[in-house]
Structure 1
């Protein structure tokens, strides 16, 4: 279920034309990259690492208008699924690639691992394509997606997509960022993707084979203030 504790939002935004690309990974390989206080959250004993390219639209503070150009941009995230000692589940981001350097600079101050990158995406009925390249280390990602029919997600799809917290580490502390949005309207999808550079840059083994893919037209999002986890 969506998070219910975003009583006061610090950011409003839309996440649109998002593709979930997932590969399985050994839990021990993922766990060694997590900070103290987080444990890998598995499904049937298997860890999963996801690449999520999408469009961030109209990012703004409540009560303020979106800023042209700065508030809408494509982004590519590398993430996995975690839990805390009290059972709170959420996301741990290995990297977030973004083409807006003011956004990168601002969000790195709260511990989010943003990277300045060129990011391109194209979406049309039945298809989507994404490409990114980091400015600093040249790590690349590209994906071509064929979009299928809507479907009702089951427990596994909920595990992969229904996350209402993100965690960051700053000043030696673990922080939880609450997230609120409606359940993802999911579609089936198939994808050809090369994301190995992102995995290797994060300290993960390059993924093998085609990813498990799902597509969503998007959701409206409320982000709450970070709090100690």
Structure 2
């Protein structure tokens, strides 16, 4: 594991800024990742994001993404993963922001499969984790929460050997922000570049009670699949 993390930490040519000088705090793997991307109106998106953060855009367009994956092997530095606590399915709804010209993501919703990891994640990260029922197979993913429902059936298509500008803009993000502060501090993350594949959606039903008014979740503008990345992260 140590050699593997050293390999991740020394692969930095793709990053837009240097990794932190401090020692990393978290290790985790994001596996079998489904990305569904939607364009949204700036005015409607602005209502959902703290004004301490600037909305990020590409070629004048603003985006929200549903990201469904399996979290694996999560543990802190100098500890080891525990099966029940370290492995669970997760779905987040995120948008794209920046602060002091550093681009990152801001989570509108995070839902996780297991109750205890959800509580621990809330406590340690301060991110808006909620517990939901989640199941997945090799070509399907389903979630049932108090205010959300997701059913996806898909096929993985060809690999994107030359990702476009927007493919990279939507996926290659190396920090996240929490809201509410006048001067938000980025939570830094690092991993090797995403290995992206096209995704053929066979059926799709997504309902977010809080966000249906601003996004037509039935019709993503772009979709990606990735086998996943191994991630190191730093505490705030």
| Normalised-by-shorter TM-score class | 0.7 to 0.9
1:27-47 Cα shifts (integer Å, max 9, x gaps): 111111111211211112111
Give the match for residue 143 of structure 1: 152
TM-score scaled by length of structure 1: 0.88
1:153-205 Cα shifts (integer Å, max 9, x gaps): 1211011101001111367763321010000000111223222x22x324752
Q: 1:103 aligns with which of 112, 117, 134?
A: 117
1:129-163 Cα shifts (integer Å, max 9, x gaps): 111111xx242111112111111212110111010
Greater CA drift, 104-113 or 37-46: 104-113
Give the match for residue 66 of structure 1: 81
Shift of 1:214: 0.6
User: How many aligned positions are there?
Assistant: 217
Cα pair distance change 1:209/1:101, threshold 3 Å? closer
Cα pair distance change 1:218/1:224, threshold 3 Å? same
Equivalent positions of 1:205-216 (< 5 A) are: 205-207=214-216, 209-211=218-220, 212-216=222-226
Q: 2:189 aligns with which of 179, 185, 191?
A: 179
TM-score scaled by length of structure 2: 0.85
The residue matched to 1:156 in structure 2 has which SS?
Answer: helix
Equivalent positions of 1:1-229 (< 5 A) are: 1-2=14-15, 4-6=18-20, 7-84=22-99, 86-109=100-123, 110-123=125-138, 128-134=139-145, 137-151=146-160, 152-169=162-179, 174-191=184-201, 192-195=203-206, 197-198=207-208, 200-202=209-211, 204-207=213-216, 209-211=218-220, 212-226=222-236
Unaligned 5+ segments in structure 2 are 1-13
Cα pair distance change 1:71/1:190, threshold 3 Å? same
The residue matched to 2:178 in structure 1 has which SS?
Answer: strand
The residue matched to 2:82 in structure 1 has which SS?
Answer: coil
Higher strand share goes to which structure?
Answer: 1
For 2:34 and 2:90, how far apart are their aligned partners in 1? 11
Cα pair distance change 1:204/1:104, threshold 3 Å? farther
Cα pair distance change 1:217/1:32, threshold 3 Å? same
Shift of 1:8: 1.5
- Contact 1:26–1:47 (CA under 8 A) maintained in structure 2: yes
Unaligned 5+ segments in structure 1 are none
